[in-house]
Chain A
């Protein structure tokens, strides 16, 4: 136990981040664990998520990246066997404190899933504004404006502006994923969680989504799960490396990829992972 602890590098103290000294964590987890029944999904993760930065979660399949990500906006509430321990703090408040409404949390912390999941019965336009509409926004000008803004942000506007009434399902896989990103952005979340958003996509769509992350982070704090280390290196400012449910190492992406502190991280990023 003690030995393990010493291998986990603590969150990088703000002072060490050099020029980025004014970084503030938008979220923070403290000893966050998720159990599926008796089985541990992730164990005791302590990690900051810095405002307007892209944080990547990497690690081999099954190491708990998705499990950790879903704990950040209380998506596990829907899985009866899942149990969360520890804290996930958003703007100074633990989102697991009794009395906190998970619906409010999810409104601030949006999510993009691994498989594109547009609403099957809705048009492109209605998919994008679904959140706003169902939250009670009825004014057409507001919805139109939000639809265009979100579709521009997700780099889909030019491709769909002439067929906003077509079914969301009529788009290609890559377009559907950008539609889902637009849909998540339309409700203006503070944090956007993305679970391997490009794993099902072709290189061009992947490129489009990576590009838009760089633009988006001016407005939104992004956490992205990826099994693709190059992607993490390309798009993220901070990276956390997970292994069998543990956060092995967390730090600025540059540092983690060029000078990993933990031998397990080094083994993984140099491809010597067994």
Chain B
């Protein structure tokens, strides 16, 4: 009797110790994130003002202006990048998961792994060589393509992974009803994995939204508001990179504010995506 209760006490103690370790581990992981986010929110928020959203670039001597042009550029380029990178990544992920014997798959896998390992700057250079040089100018389109390249491997891997988790019998059930294979994949398998697929898209989107390097040789940056992606285009990530290194304290403050706005944009996008995923069926 005593031995059993002694055992029990020891196990309960052990249980508490392990639980404590788990909580501690989680805190260690989450703490830096919380610190960075709170720094961004506190510093960024105090630097935010109306001009930030209503004005474009101005010299520091003229008040420094705002970052409307960068916000618009970020949104436009990232949406186009999502369209391009999301579509390609989804298609590739579907191919790898649903048609495992397709002849292009080995090549696709190599390209995807290559893209995944390639530094973002070099993705920018790829687009620079393929698009900027032939067209003779930097443009928002080139920027969106480079960001698309950032997204592709992320979306592709996530899609392949979550599709493979959908039980095989979902496909059998669909095919057994006399549905064509593409129908089964698009209407039955993909929806069964929708939350994972959307998470993958959001991961890619967030990653691309934060990239400045691939935009250097592609979008080229800009000081003017434009809604036309055939022009040079600014993005918040580019602005942060540039302003953070400027001597003027005003620019540094604006960089913090830009970081906050970028974070909020990504947050809004992912909330929107979750909401869409919830509402759609």
Contact = CB atoms under 8 A, between A and B. Distances in A.
Interface string A107-149: 1101101010111111000000011001100000000000000
A183 to B, nearest CB: 7
Given A111-B176, A134-B187, A183-B177, A117 B169 contact: yes
Nearest to A122: B281
Interface string B192-210: 1010000000000000000
Contacts of B88: none
Contacts of B180: 103
Nearest to B176: A111
B175 A130 contact: no
Interface residues of B, number: 22
A108 B169 contact: no
A184 B172 contact: no
B183 interface: yes
Given A120-B192, A130-B188, A106 B175 contact: yes
Contacts of B177: 106-107, 110, 130-131, 134, 183-184, 187
Contacts of B178: 103-108, 110, 131, 135, 187, 189
Interface string A61-92: 00000000000010100101000000000000
A71 to B, nearest CB: 14
A155 interface: no
B63 interface: no
Interface string B156-182: 000000000001011111111111110
A110 B176 contact: yes
Given A80-B101, A119-B192, A130-B188, A135 B179 contact: yes
A162 B174 CA distance: 26
A73 B179 CA distance: 13
Contacts of B64: none
Nearest to A77: B175
B171 A78 contact: yes
Interface of B: 101, 167, 169-181, 183, 187-188, 191-192, 194, 281
30 contacts: A75-B176, A78-B172, A78-B175, A104-B178, A106-B175, A106-B177, A108-B178, A110-B176, A111-B172, A111-B176, A115-B169, A117-B173, A119-B174, A119-B188, A119-B192, A120-B167, A120-B192, A121-B191, A121-B281, A122-B281, A130-B177, A134-B174, A134-B183, A135-B179, A180-B173, A183-B173, A183-B177, A184-B176, A187-B177, A187-B178
Q: Which 3 A-B pairs have the closest CB atoms?
A: A107-B178, A131-B177, A111-B176
